[in-house]
Chains A and B, each alone.
Chain A
Amino acid sequence: MSVYHQNKSRFIQIMIVAVFAIITGQLIHLQIFSTKYRIMADNNAIFRKVIYPDRGIIFDRKHRAILENTIMYDLMVIPSNAKNIDKEALCKLLNIDTTEYRKRIVTAIIKNTSVKSSVFEPLLSPELYARLNENIYKFPGFMLQERSIRSYPYNTAAAILGYLGEVDTAFLRKYKSEGYEMGDYTGLNGLERTYEKVLMGQRGIKRFLRDNRGRIQGSFEKGAFDTVAIAGRNLYTSIDIEVQQLAEKLLQNKIGSAVAINPKTGSIIAMATSPSYNPNTLIGSERRKNFGRLLLDTARPLLNRAIKGQYPPGSTFKPLGGLVALDEGLITPSYGFNCFGAYVNCGKAVRCTHAGGGHAANLRKAIAYSCNSYFVHVFRMAVDNPLYANPQKGYLKWKNYMNTFGLGVPLGIDLPGEVKASIPDTSRYNKDFGGFARWNSCNILTLGIGQDRMTATPLQLANLMCIIANKGYYYTPHIVDSIENETIEDTAYLTKYRTKHDVTHVADSIYQTIQDGMEDVTIYGTASFLKVPGHSYCAKTGTAQNPHGKNHAVFTAFAPKNNPKIAVAVVVENSGYGGTWAGPVATLLMEKYLNDTLSTASAKKAEDFSKINLIPEAIKRWYHRKDSIRVAREREKEKEMEKTHEIEADSIVNTKTTFDPEAEPNRKNDDNKNEQQNIIKQPPMLNNQQNDKKKKKAN
């Protein structure tokens, strides 16, 4: 009996030990072999707060801040603390009704629970902030939280500086490894985008302990694992904000663009596009509304025409045409062409503004008077150059010249979205004319006067001026001259803007001839009525035909002639003569830059010019319609369609506008395949025959 009980007691003891062994086994499994619980515990209890550093400031040529940071306030609420308050008073302050109040509180609770703070009203206006700040003690549970946002103190240079926007899922997927999180802001356009990594600085992370309801209990391990936020670095640009303001002012009420470059360094002094917008409207609480409005504007204010507008250069191309002929040895400076008012050697007449009087008696005169016949003839000579087997080979040689002078290739400016415009390839013409080599110089003769399928961006035209002004070299146009505390990567990036590009081995004397001709333009030629006080300057006017209405006015120039400090290209769409509508913009910009101020007469001229409205009728009608009551309804729909994160804002617009103001006549050109916006459907372009028929003239 006793032994029997002994056994039973032993059995109970063994059972107890067995259970303890099982428990110990599970403890070993949980505590020693499983690592996931530690991670889960950290996810539970450690709240990582990202500390956003101040973004870098962007300065202009004279170290004036043109893009800086400012503090704005969000009204925050902790719903569980915000009970028993005077809702009516708060609603009255915020100008909302109590239904809206309740809606926002419910949204806050859904988003962030009722014990954590959520944004009740973001980015308060300064007046509202002042009023709320006085009264905030009356509303427990509500508080004002500061937030650093961007500010554009000059209200200008929107297209250059760009803007910030919240990252979206597509962006996060694309830049997975760069540590962005939902809700972060990133540069979406302009310098903000190109130099995002420099400007953003390095985010810091603070770790806090939080409890089961998400309330912060204090710092984790006394901040031992925290990292410090490092402020973004500043950018020093070559923009002269006063010249920039003047350029934007002169282009008011017009559609077009102006680019000014310092030829000696390639630094961009001003880059204006019109219509533009006040960049300060894209920050703050109105951002969504304003962005939607800009996005749907038929005149496309979000399009930076300086680098994305593709215009036929028209007669401003002629100096380069002459230069090619000289370099190829096809003509001498004294070569003359007997023009009697039209070029008829290819059958159909290409008209010329001047007739007889020896206006094309030599190259200088031909440039000064902008003789179409002369340059068509010279172009044909280049294509039909007996040195090359056939016109196609001659054409390729000519195209090669164009590309080395920066036409038809992207220059590589430090702004996103630059297009390369178009110098068509032979394959394009093979297609146009129905087969290989089924065309000759006669078929494409208007290329010689900057028409046909040739297009260029204002930036390319300005860069061309730089090359002529420098007699053969250029620096890639750029906006940022230097970066604060430049790192090795920064230097590597900026090196491409600090490298001198020698174009070809064209003799100085040839450039001299071209420069002389361009100076003659300003002395007795097509721009003789425009002066830059105190400086001699060289210029070329252009009046480019296009399939979308009145001619584009084009004007390229550089000054002073002997020691060029500024090269300018201006395009005013659908306005008329280049000298009349683009010329004043260029000369006033040069005067402002070279003399640092405008003379009284010029200031008045600038004032008057800025008031002239050259916006095409169709767009005026669009604006008019937009203002009518009917459109108020449409805007409701627009709100829905509005997309905040549109890096390539322009591409969307196209599908929605009925009228395209047309910046890019040769849009469908195959050469532009690489450009993102090529998806756009445009009215079929006019073919060459039509072009030839409505013959053209430059000035």
Chain B
Amino acid sequence: MTHQYHSMRASQKADYIVVWLYAILVAIGIFCIFMVEYNPDHDIFQSFIGGKTNYSRQLFFAGFCIIVATFILLSDSKIYTAFSNLLYAFGILLMLATFVIGENINGSKSWIRLGGGFNLQPAELCKIFTALALAKFLSRQETDFSKLKSQIIGAAIAMVPAILAIAQQETGLALVYSAFFIVMYREGMPATILIIGFSFAALVIATLLLEPNTLALILTGIALFFIYLLRKQIKKQKKILTSIIVIWVICVGIQRFAVPYIFNNVLKCYQSTRVYSMVGKDYDCSLNKHATASPTKTVRKPDDYNVRQSKIAIGSGGALGKGFLKGTQTRGKYVPEQHTDFIFTSIGEAFGFVGSFIFLLLYLALLFRIIFIAERQRSTFSRVYAYSVASIIFFHLTVNISMTIGLFPIIGIPLPLVSYGGSSLLTFTMLIFILLRLDADRQMVLR
């Protein structure tokens, strides 16, 4: 088959369920931004075309993304395997470049000005490159992912951009890179790592929620329970007892010393406050090492303002919502950053539980379709890449929606395809359409 023929086939063989879900979500996003910015005094058509409002800009971004998507579908899938390492290196270079030529936008120096009013966030793009690079690494024939060395290299590929993002003060974006652990789990990383990770998170949350002594008692109780449960094995093997005691000591140590240390010395005051406010507690900033420098800040705006307003907007939607353009909280601009990170609140308020649930089902469908696509790949590269896409979208979605409904601390990461923002939309477009391009060639084995 000729190169030409091959490309034509690819665009025809693209998975149209994903394309439709993509199109619907992007359209919903533009309408949500429209709801947020709607001004009855202005002519709707004019403001959609004018380019002055965010929704018309998003419409423009979407148009641009269609062009990019078309190009991707027309491209040769081999270039993604061929250039994945190069692109990854390029992405890391761009991220490093922001330290030199970066623009300070919204308090993080992670943007590069492109001119014409458009800016690029390398950390966003780097998600694609990392996904490709991880896929490339795992699909190498010499990689045996059951070995610890490969696992460490894989983790390093995912973590380098994350560390750079943290250095750029983009904690949210950095967290997204932990989504790659889901991929690595699928590819053979032992589940214990995930379990330990979850246990650690659960322990941290429990530390915030419970009195230190109560929690210590509970942990002791759990340890004793396990000793009782495993008493027969312990008789045979003294090692089990030792390990239970070690785990107990570690847990109490984390709860007693490590967590307070992290909140008081590592995190900034506002970050600690956000985490505490998520579990409904007040954080005493005077304990924070970073806060002591600025005792003059006596006027304290409640730090849970965002999440409170967000919950009010969603909660006031009720079962069926207030109706299109009838949301009082949206109209009154009570939810900060509603067109970007808190876009879900506009759906929750206008269309209520039913609307929100249908909206979530769309995402669920998209995720399951991508996992389905992943599992039908012949080549490891495509499968790993597909899982990366699913994981990233899943992580974004979970964190974003959880934070708007008060289940997660406020971390500024966008809702995929729906939140306003060119960088974000372009990144997800590229992620999804590269996947579709690879999927079109699923019979080939790409390395």
> Chain A: residues with CB nearer than 8 A to chain B?
5, 8-9, 12-13, 15-17, 19-20, 22-24, 26-28, 30-32, 34, 36-38, 40-42, 44-46, 209-212, 217-218, 220
Contacts and interface: CB of A to CB of B under 8 A. Distances in A.
Q: Which 8 A-B pairs have the closest CB atoms?
A: A37-B315, A41-B316, A45-B328, A31-B353, A30-B315, A211-B332, A45-B332, A38-B316
Contacts of A44: 309, 312, 328-329, 332, 334
A348 B20 CA distance: 119
A37 B353 contact: no
Contacts of B72: none
Interface string B363-388: 01001100100110000000000010
Interface stretch (B2-10, B135-143, B227-235, B402-410): B402-410
B402 A30 contact: no
Contact of A27 (B40, B334, B353): B353
Given A209-B328, A211-B333, A40 B186 contact: no
A31 B314 contact: yes
A38 B322 CA distance: 11
Nearest to B185: A8
Contacts of A22: 407
Given A13-B368, A31-B356, A37-B316, A26 B407 contact: yes
Given A31-B315, A211-B334, 14 more contacts: A8-B186, A16-B368, A26-B402, A28-B353, A30-B314, A30-B348, A37-B311, A37-B316, A41-B329, A44-B309, A44-B329, A44-B332, A209-B332, A212-B333
Contacts of B364: 16-17, 20
B313 A41 contact: yes
Given A20-B360, A30-B405, A217-B331, A5 B353 contact: no
B160 to A, nearest CB: 24
A44 to B, nearest CB: 5
Interface residues of B, number: 40
Given A19-B398, A46-B328, A209-B328, A27 B182 contact: no
B180 interface: no
B29 interface: no
B401 interface: yes
B414 interface: no
A53 B98 CA distance: 64
Interface of B: 40, 182, 185-186, 309, 311-319, 328-329, 331-334, 348, 352-353, 356-357, 360, 364, 367-368, 371, 374-375, 387, 394, 398, 401-402, 405-407
A9 B315 contact: no
Q: Which of the listed residues B185, B309, B318, B348 has the most CB atoms from chain A within 10 Å of its own CB?
A: B318
Nearest to B360: A20
Nearest to B321: A31
Contacts of A42: 316, 328
Given A8-B186, A45-B329, A45-B334, A31 B348 contact: yes
19 contacts: A8-B186, A9-B371, A12-B387, A26-B405, A28-B353, A30-B315, A31-B348, A31-B353, A32-B319, A32-B353, A37-B315, A37-B316, A41-B315, A44-B309, A45-B328, A45-B331, A45-B332, A210-B332, A211-B333
B339 to A, nearest CB: 14
A24 B374 CA distance: 26
Contact of A34 (B315, B367, B371, B374): B315
Contacts of A210: 332
Q: Which of the listed residues A8, A22, A218 has the most CB atoms from chain B within 10 Å of its own CB?
A: A8
Main secondary structure of the interface of A (DSSP, over half): helix
A30 B328 contact: no
A27 B186 contact: no
Contact of B402 (A8, A23, A36): A23
Contact of B315 (A19, A38, A211): A38
B163 to A, nearest CB: 25
A591 B371 CA distance: 107
A41 B182 contact: no
Contacts of B318: 31-32, 38
Contacts of B40: 218
A12 B406 contact: no
Contacts of A209: 328, 331-332
Given A26-B405, A27-B405, A37 B312 contact: yes
B132 to A, nearest CB: 20
A9 to B, nearest CB: 6
B236 to A, nearest CB: 29
A32 B309 CA distance: 17
A17 B317 CA distance: 24
Nearest to B320: A31
Contacts of B186: 5, 8-9, 12
Nearest to A45: B328
A23 B401 contact: yes
Nearest to B313: A41
A32 B320 CA distance: 9
A348 B342 CA distance: 98
B386 to A, nearest CB: 11
Contacts of A31: 314-315, 317-319, 348, 352-353, 356
Contacts of B309: 44
A36 B401 CA distance: 20
Contacts of B314: 27, 30-31, 37
Contacts of B394: 16, 19
A25 B272 CA distance: 26
Nearest to A17: B364
A13 B185 CA distance: 13
A27 B328 CA distance: 19
Contacts of B333: 211-212
Nearest to A9: B375
B190 to A, nearest CB: 11
A23 B328 contact: no
A227 B319 CA distance: 28
B262 to A, nearest CB: 25
Contacts of A19: 394, 398
A44 B329 CA distance: 8
B182 A12 contact: yes
B360 A41 contact: no
A23 B317 CA distance: 16
A27 B371 CA distance: 25
Contacts of A212: 332-334
B70 to A, nearest CB: 30
Q: Which of the listed residues B314, B360, B368 has the most CB atoms from chain A within 10 Å of its own CB?
A: B314
A46 B329 CA distance: 10
B299 to A, nearest CB: 13
Contacts of B407: 22-23, 26
A448 B374 CA distance: 116
A148 to B, nearest CB: 30
Contacts of A220: 328
B150 to A, nearest CB: 16
Contacts of A45: 328-329, 331-332, 334
Nearest to A13: B371
Contacts of A16: 364, 367-368, 371, 394
Contacts of B406: 26, 30
B274 to A, nearest CB: 18
A210 B333 CA distance: 9
B387 to A, nearest CB: 8
A36 to B, nearest CB: 7
Nearest to B314: A30
